[in-house]
Amino acid sequence: AQSVTQLDSQVPVFEEAPVELRCNYSSSVSVYLFWYVQYPNQGLQLLLKYLSGSTLVESINGFEAEFNKSQTSFHLRKPSVHISDTAEYFCAVRTRGSQGNLIFGKGTKLSVKP
Amino acid sequence: EPEVTQTPSHQVTQMGQEVILRCVPISNHLYFYWYRQILGQKVEFLVSFYNNEISEKSEIFDDQFSVERPDGSNFTLKIRSTKLEDSAMYFCASSASGVGSPQHFGDGTRLSIL
């Protein structure tokens, strides 16, 4: 069985500060890793994904995440956040090589204050 | 950019009634999914559908639930006799063929059972 843990349910930060949203997973098989973002009253949007290759992946809006196999982590980071980054962020895994379902973490609400 | 669309955005139904949630996946996608998110809880997988049949389902997806792709464009989730605990946000998702293809989500249908 697979599971995803997002330890921080809420993360308040000031604008232009750095942020790290933590994600750890547990799986007996290799997985793909994803971060999704949910803005208020909207659906889940794919932010970035790790499938293979370089362990550091980046999104178009400045977020990055690093796959760490030994620590089974896929933490999301941004060096300088904007008000518009306020949203809920979900980490998810899927069994490598499958088209199967995503297993989600509980989500982290990022609140960026001016 | 093509989107997954879901209707209605909010559905209010009396307990015991049948409800059908509708989704139009991205047109060239082949894999379809339903997830739900009870308020304050994780996004949970319900069912995946490929080649006109269910490929995987969770324990939540019991005999009260069914899915259908009636006309080659819509993908529906039916709950036969709704219960109070079915109140949740229901998300439809689709993905293209190819291992590692990410799932694209709709904005969800908020189902409220009275």
Q: What is the DSSP string of A24-36?
A: EEE-SS-EEEEEE
pLDDT band at B21 (very low <50, low <70, confident <90, very high): very high
Is residue A63 less than 8 Å (CB to CB) from chain B?
Answer: no
Tell me the DSSP string of B7-67: E-SEEEE-TT--EEEEEE--TT--EEEEEEE-TTS-EEEEEEEETTEEEEE-TT--TTEEE
Residues belonging to chain B with any Cβ–Cβ distance to chain A shorter than 8 Å: 4, 6, 31, 33, 35, 41-45, 48, 50, 55-56, 58, 91, 93, 95, 97, 99-108
Is residue A32 less than 8 Å (CB to CB) from chain B?
Answer: yes
B35, B43, B48 member nearest A100 (Cβ): B48
User: How far apart are the CA of B16 and the nearest CA of chain A, in angstroms?
Assistant: 27
Please count the CA atoms within 13 angstroms of the CA of B93 that sit on its side-chain side.
27
Residue pair B103/B95 in contact by the 8 Å Cβ criterion:
yes
Residue pair A25/A5 in contact by the 8 Å Cβ criterion:
yes
Q: In this predicted model, what pLDDT tens digit does every residue of A4-57 receive, in sequence order?
A: 999 999 999 999 999 999 999 999 888 899 999 999 878 899 999 998 888 899
B100:A32 CB<8 A = yes
Q: In this predicted model, what pLDDT tens digit does every residue of A75-104 receive, in sequence order?
A: 999 999 999 999 999 999 988 777 778 999
B50, B91, B102 member nearest A49 (Cβ): B102
